[in-house]
Amino acid sequence: MSLPQAMSQLSGTVTIGTGGMYSTIGAALNEINAYGLSGHVIFELEAGVYNESIYLSNITDLTKDSTLTFRSTDGPSAAIIRSLNNNPTNALVSLINCPFITFDGIRFVIEQQNIWFVEATGCHNFELNNCTFSEPLLSSTSFGNAGLVSVTESNHVYIDSTEIPRRLYVNNDTLVVVTDSEIRRGHYSQSSITHTVFASNCDSLYISNSIISEYSIGGHAQTAEIINCDVAGIGLPGNAPQSGILIKDNYVQGFIRINTGKVINNTVTNPHASSACIWINNGDSCIVDRNVVYPRMEKGIYAPIGSGLITNNMVLDTWDNTYVFDRNGIDVAGDFYVSHNSVFMNNVTVDNEAAGIKILGDSEVVINNIVYIEHPIATSLNVTTGNTFTSENNILMNASGPLASMLGTLFYTLQQWNASSSQDNLSIAISPSFIGHDDLHLTSSSGILLAGYSDSVVYDIDSEVRQVTTHVGADQVFNVSLFNENKSSLQLFPNPTNDYFFIDGLVDNGTETTIKIYKITGEEVERIEDYDTNTPILLPYKGIYIVRIDQGTGEEIILKVSRPY
């Protein structure tokens, strides 16, 4: 530990408090402003309340080899930095062009109006770890703009295990990472502020294992991942590149709206009007897969333009209200492949264009879905403008009204719909065996095993592997194990492989053997008919692959093989 000396740079661990080398934070900062710092400096704050603000500007000594950390000596929240009415700046912590600064285990308290918690500009590698922010004396009418944490024009921003009671604003930052934190908008009185977390023109935004409450995550990030969060909404419709957005494993009490990317395994309940639960705004090659959606005011899944896959989703619309416009379970237009979804609508107030699945009728493909409606005017399928779509191998059923609609004409039976549209010739009209109106898993396979269209949807909504004769809808009832090497006499070798692999254990039983190889995402990459048991199979790229082996017995063997390099 280096003791502070006059006319010398600070270095090492420096204690601050009544028994420390400096009695106040300001006194230690004066030394930095006057003489700079050398090496890594840690300000150890003794337990207590520090009625002062922090202001640093243009400290050129701060680098990756010379950092500054504010740390609570006696554990999280023992050291409290509190604003007073004589605060000379607009923020409790104001940093300008000061990189490599970390706050660890500090509690920040605001007790005056119009004071931000943190305003950091040009502060690369800025970190908040295990911090808390509070404003106990402020109400919805008294705090004005107080409570904002703002980090702008900074290359790397890291927030971990931190509670922010108002709002996080990041702007023109290269990388923003938020983990294991809670951010609330609180009683923000400004109606123009609609996001709890707002990322403006950021390159990369990563939020995981966090709670973002009351209002949404919004902004324009080029790349973003929101994973395993409890969030009030996600709106990232910016100019993101293809597959640049991943929304996965979240519980969303609002909406998800993106331009393009992947929306996977989320539970979404949207109580708001004029917004779909999942809205793909204008993107190509999107994936909406394995989500459970509870629309309350409008659409469940909405993709008005673009292309992609909408697979393995459950949409349950059973909530009655007076908002009747466009209550569609799945509403798409463009080159979307809609397969293996389960949609249920019951006892909802809707207009006469509402449907379980609504398509423009241009080039959409609708196969292997279950759409069950109980309503006098809604339909299971509604085609609005075109007739160049494909619809096949579905369960389409309305127990209380018309089955389908095309260009304004209603069809009450599947036969009428077949004759007019030349579609759904392999589809059936029955009541599916759902567990219940709030759970669209299937209770049995009776009446719902449909032969015909097979596709590359390898998994069901529970990430279980589908069988040879797959069930339509999101749920596969009887599933094989994902990786069943121990249950089969067949083996893939070498595994892992650098290029080729063989199948050991195949026996010539007089029938043709078909090999189908899929990426882990479900995309079929190769199909080999009448496979010769001695022929090596090439994996052209690194990755994990699913190999489905059909020896003509009616049951496939499903194995895994990987190519790491």
Question: What are the residues facing 314 on neighbouring strands?
Answer: 292, 342
Q: Residue 390: enclosing H or E segment and its boundaries?
A: strand 390-392
- The answer to whether 61 and 86 are in contact (CB under 8 A) is no
Is it the case that residue 241 has pLDDT exceeding 50? Answer: no
DSSP per position, 80-125: EEE--TT--SSEEEEEES--SEEEESEEEE--STT-EEEEEES-TT
List the one residue out of 366, 395, 392 whose CA is nearest residue 452. Answer: 392
Predicted confidence (pLDDT) per residue in 277-294, tens digit: 999 887 788 999 999 999
Distance CA(544)–CA(565), nearest Å, equals 11
What torsion, rounded to 10 degrees, do the Cα atoms 261, 267, 272, 277 define?
Answer: 40
What's the pTM value of the predicted model, to 2 decimals? 0.78
Residue 179 has pLDDT above 60, yes or no: yes
CA 300/CA 270 separation, integer angstroms? 9
Task: Give, in order, the Cα–Cα distances in Å from 46 to each of 2, 83, 86.
Answer: 18, 18, 23
* DSSP assignments along 409-434, one per residue: EEE-SHHHHHHHH---TT-B-----E
Cis amide prior to 496 (ω within 30 degrees): yes
Residue 259 CA, chain-centre distance (Å), reads 13
Write out pLDDT tens, residues 77-89: 899 998 865 555 6
Q: Which two tokens stand for residue 2?
A: 């280096």
Which has more pLDDT, 65 or 376? 65
CA distance 462 to 415: 33
CA distances from 29 to 4, 26, 265, 330 (A): 12, 5, 48, 58
Handedness of CA 433, 467, 264, 378 (dihedral sign): negative
Pairing of strands 301-303, 195-200: unpaired
What proportion of the chain, given as a percentage, has pLDDT over 90?
A: 35
Q: What pLDDT digit, counting tens, does each position of 386-423 carry?
A: 778 889 888 999 988 899 999 989 999 988 998 899 89
Joined tokens for residue 478: 């009887």
Query: Minimum mean pLDDT among 84-98, 457-471, 479-493, 528-542: which range?
Result: 479-493
* Residue 412 token pair: 């009450």
Distance CA 495, CA 493 (A): 5
8 A C-beta contact, residue 303 and residue 333? yes
Q: What is the mean pLDDT of residues 491-505?
A: 88
Write out the two tokens for 559: 């194995």
What would the DSSP string read from start to end of 327-367? --SEEE-SEEEEES-EEEEES----TT-EEEEE-SSS-EEE
The answer to whether the CB of 281 falls within 8 A of the CB of 259 is yes
Mention every residue, 6+ apart, whose C-beta is less than 8 A from residue 421: 383, 387, 391, 404, 406, 411
CA distance 299 to 293: 10
**What's the pLDDT band for 6 if we cut at 50, 70, 90?**
very low
Contact of 545 with 517, CB cutoff 8 Å? yes
User: Can you tell me the distance from the alpha carbon of 478 to that of 397, in angstroms, rounded to the nearest whole number?
Assistant: 23
Helix (H, G, I), strand (E, B), or coil: what is residue 370? strand
Q: Which residues of 526-537 are buried (b: 16+ CB within 10 A; e: fewer)?
A: eeeeebeeeeeb
pLDDT digits (tens, 9 = 90+) for 338-360: 999 999 988 565 555 689 999 98
Q: How confident is the model at residue 276 (pLDDT cuts 50, 70, 90)?
A: confident
